[in-house]
Amino acid sequence: MDRSTAAAAADFFVMEMAKRQLVVLLLVVVALFEGSRAVSVCDISEDGLAACKPSVTKPDPVEPPSVDCCKAVSGANFTCLCSYKNSYLLPYLGIDPDLAMALPSKCNLSTAVPSC
């Protein structure tokens, strides 16, 4: 590996670490700002996220999703979830975006899931 390739690889690594640190910082700021309010992502409560996590976490997602998960998913804003699909937030929370978008089908809900 020549010197310029090594420098480029180091720069890339530093940028990726900076992005991850920014996400963590934003999560901390949101947590501090929100105080004691319950966490909610795209109209799914903290309890709903916890209920669905086993079904949206790789490598061995639990199928079928739990009744509590399906109840939480029935009120979810999937257009909002699309905005997080390519971000670091969902993977940081241990959520696989593709598995999350498949939950309405697995819960036999008639919820329209946008293609994102």
Is residue 98 within 8 Å of 115, Cβ to Cβ? no
Q: Is the pLDDT of residue 32 over 80?
A: no
More confident residue, 86 or 105: 105
Round to the nearest angstrom and report the end-to-end CA distance of the chain: 38
Compute the average pLDDT of residues 74-103.
86
What pLDDT is attached to residue 29?
59
Any idea how long the chain is?
A: 116
- 0.85 exceeded by pTM: no
Two structure tokens written together for 58? 């790789």
pLDDT in tens, 34-47: 544 566 778 888 89
Please state, as a whole number, how many other Cβ atoms lie within 10 Å of the Cβ of residue 116. Answer: 13
Using alpha carbons, select from 61, 86, 73, 84 the residue that is nearest to residue 112: 73
